[in-house]
Amino acid sequence: MRVIDQDGENIGVLYTREAIAQAAEVGLDLVEVSPNADPPVCKYLDVGKFKYEAQKKANLARKSQKTQEIKEIKMRPNIDDHDYVTKMKKITEFIGEGDKVKVTLRFRGREMSHQQLGMILLQRVAEDMGETAKVEAYPRLEGRQMLMVLSPK
């Protein structure tokens, strides 16, 4: 097996017993780094320290990543202009934070017979958000609700 010392220098090809003995002299463990290579590559490491460093890296990576949440905005088909503008500001804010937005259009009573108004409204939302967001799930009707999902570009 090919052996690399603790400083990263190549010692050469050694027998397994020799490599283990040399690692013990230095006070480190012999760890197989690349088992599929020909010959396999091993390295002198302090396993406890190595695990600690790996755990530390994993914790730092987990801390720095942002989970993407799904925020929901509810509307009605006959929404007023000012209310629409307010909802659009919130959608823009959520998209800016990197979250997905689920736009829910709720139909009540006889509004179900005018589903084309809901489709027009959701298309208007998609057009207004065209620069900052893309439509992930196109408008679809589920019971008395019409749903659409937007995600950041």
User: What pLDDT, in 10s, does the model give residues 71-130?
Assistant: 999 999 999 999 999 999 999 999 998 899 999 999 998 888 988 999 999 999 999 998
pLDDT, residue 125, reads 93
**Sequence-ordered list of residues with C-beta below 8 angstroms from that of 36, at least 6 positions apart, any chain:** none
Q: Which fold has domain 2-64?
A: Ubiquitin-like (UB roll) (3.10.20)
Asked whether the predicted pLDDT for residue 144 surpasses 80, the reply is yes
Sequence length of the chain is: 153
Q: Where, residue-wise, is CATH 3.30.110.10 in the chain?
A: 70-152
Going by C-beta distance under 8 Å and a sequence separation of 6 or more, which residues neighbour residue 118? 77, 105, 107, 111, 139, 146
Q: Domain spanning 70-152 has what CATH number? A: 3.30.110.10
pLDDT digits (tens, 9 = 90+) for 9-62: 888 888 989 988 988 888 888 888 888 888 899 999 888 888 898 899 999 888
Which residues of the chain are in CATH 3.10.20.80 domains?
2-64
Q: Are 149 and 101 in contact (CB under 8 A)?
A: yes
pLDDT attached to residue 32:
87
Burial (CB < 10 A; 0-12, 13-18, 19+), residue 103, is: buried
Using DSSP, how many helices (H) and how many strands (E) does the chain show? 4, 8
**Does the pLDDT value for residue 70 go beyond 80?**
yes
